Amino acid sequence: MAISGEKSSASRKEAEGRSASGLITWIYQAEDLDPGQTVEFEKSLYERYSAAAATIDFDFRVLRAGELIPSCLEKPVLRYQGTDLLGRRQCFIVEDQSQDPQGLQGLRAIYRTIQASDSVLLNRTLSGPDYLERDKLALLQHAAGLGIPTPRTIAVPFGRYARSAVTEAVREIGDGPYIVKPREMGMGVAVLKVDSERQLTAAIDIVAQATGGYIVQPFIPHSGDMRVYVADGEVVTSLTRRPRPGDYLANISQGGSAAATDDHRQVADMCRRIAGSLGAEYICIDWLMTEQGPVLNEWSTASAGFTVLPEPGRTQVIEAFFGWIKRTFEKGA
């Protein structure tokens, strides 16, 4: 479904006798949300992104992945309510993480169909394999090869082999506390802090029954989780997120707070090194700010939010991000 706000925007342009020069379509997995949250999520996303898209004369809309049918009919086709979305060249942001295995496969089919077309997939900004955009184990291995400080990270084997990760974690990390989290999820979903080997064993027993992969890391005390926004190989600004008192998750979606800082000066060179190694035109890189110095947490691409940034950082990121979108779209026209 396209949310109603898009109609009013389109109607306004029609009344002015013109149409937008481009379109950004955000595709997400509605089934990952509570049914009562989907409309509010779409409304909020539209309100936050449509104004920013308007700065480059682009429209913005939100669609649900389950309503799309990707095909190969002598060419890539992405059908929505009888219309091929790829019949009009446009920009897409496709969420590529889901708590549902079939939902994840559906998102990846859409993602790869768009990638095979002449439209622009905005969260495919890396020149390397696409798993480096979301697999925390793989991206940390890549960063470690660049000499970037990274946390010790152990992948949990599947099924009945899972408990072997406990022995490995105690040997390589110590007695805890530990963080157990999915390899391919975001926004703090399913991230668990455990304090002892016994608790880690119980947590591993639980995740062994899950369908996705998990990793174990040390819990690293830190003053904040800093997100650095990088566009065209240069640092734009940063945002430091902090958990609620007594909590351990700094994600805004999990109740954390945010403040603008200039701490990105400490990691600017490492951010350029990461972006350059990936050929990333736009990327957000997250760092844990510890007493021993910054430690890489993870990175993400075009879906990483900017709307919580205070000014002037918010305007700086909008200009960098949407300016890059416009140049990328026009370059391939």
Structural element, H or E, at residue 214: strand 214-218
Q: Kindly report, residue by residue over 304-327, the tens digit of the pLDDT.
A: 577 778 888 889 999 999 999 999
Does the structure show a pLDDT above 50 at 17?
A: no
| Minimum mean pLDDT range among 115-124, 173-182, 240-249 | 240-249
Among 66, 160, 136, which residue's Cα sits nearest to residue 296? 136
Q: How far apart are CA 206 and CA 208, in angstroms?
A: 5
Does the structure show a pLDDT above 50 at 11?
A: no
Residues 112 and 12 in one domain: yes
- Residue 12's pLDDT band, with cuts at 50, 70 and 90, is very low
Residues 102 and 11 in one domain: yes
H-only helix segments in 221-280? 268-278
CATH number at 164 reads 3.30.1490.20
In which domain, by residue range, is 25 found? 4-123
Q: Mean per-residue pLDDT for 162-171?
A: 97
Residues 189 and 253 in one domain: no
Q: Kindly report, residue by residue over 45-67, the tens digit of the pLDDT.
A: 999 899 999 999 999 999 999 99
Residues 209 and 236 in one domain: no
Total domains in the fold of the chain: 3
Residues 10 and 107 in one domain: yes
In a domain, 332, yes or no: no
Adjacent-strand bridge partners of 214? 182
So what's the pLDDT on residue 227? 92
- Residue 245's pLDDT band, with cuts at 50, 70 and 90, is low
Does the structure show a pLDDT above 70 at 3?
A: no
- pTM over cut 0.75: yes
Among 318, 235, 219, 220, which residue's Cα sits nearest to residue 284? 235
Selected residue with higher pLDDT from 37 and 9:
37
Q: Kindly report, residue by residue over 118-127, the tens digit of the pLDDT.
A: 999 998 888 8
Structure tokens at 230: 């990088």
In a domain, 295, yes or no: yes
Residues 19 and 98 in one domain: yes
Q: Kindly report, residue by residue over 32-45, the tens digit of the pLDDT.
A: 888 889 999 999 99
Residue tagged 């390589």 (tokens):
172
Q: Kindly report, residue by residue over 279-301, the tens digit of the pLDDT.
A: 998 999 999 999 999 999 999 88
In a domain, 31, yes or no: yes
Whether the CB-CB separation of 224 and 248 falls below 8 Å is answered with no
For 79, counting Cβ atoms within 10 Å of its Cβ (0-12 exposed, 13-18 middle, 19+ buried), the class is middle
Q: Is 11 left (phi over 0), alpha (psi -120 to 50) or beta?
A: alpha
Residues 170 and 266 in one domain: no
Q: How far apart are CA 264 and CA 269, in angstroms?
A: 9
Residues 201 and 234 in one domain: no
Adjacent-strand bridge partners of 192? 180
In a domain, 330, yes or no: no
Tell me the pLDDT of the chain averaged across its residues: 88
Q: Kindly report, residue by residue over 176-196, the tens digit of the pLDDT.
A: 899 999 998 777 788 999 999
Adjacent-strand bridge partners of 24? 60, 91
So what's the pLDDT on residue 93? 95
Of the three residues 202, 218, 234, the one that is the final residue of a domain is: 218
Q: Mean per-residue pLDDT for 230-235?
A: 90
DSSP 89: -
Residues 42 and 84 in one domain: yes
Whether the CB-CB separation of 181 and 175 falls below 8 Å is answered with no
The DSSP result for 18-37, as a single string, is ---SEEEEEEE-GGGS-TTT
Q: How far apart are CA 293 and CA 266, in angstroms?
A: 9
Residues 96 and 26 in one domain: yes
CATH number at 272 reads 3.30.470.20
Of the three residues 166, 197, 218, the one that is the final residue of a domain is: 218
So what's the pLDDT on residue 171? 97
Question: Treating both helix axes as pointing N-terminal to C-terminal, what angle do 164-172 and 197-207 enclose, rounded to 10 degrees?
Answer: 140
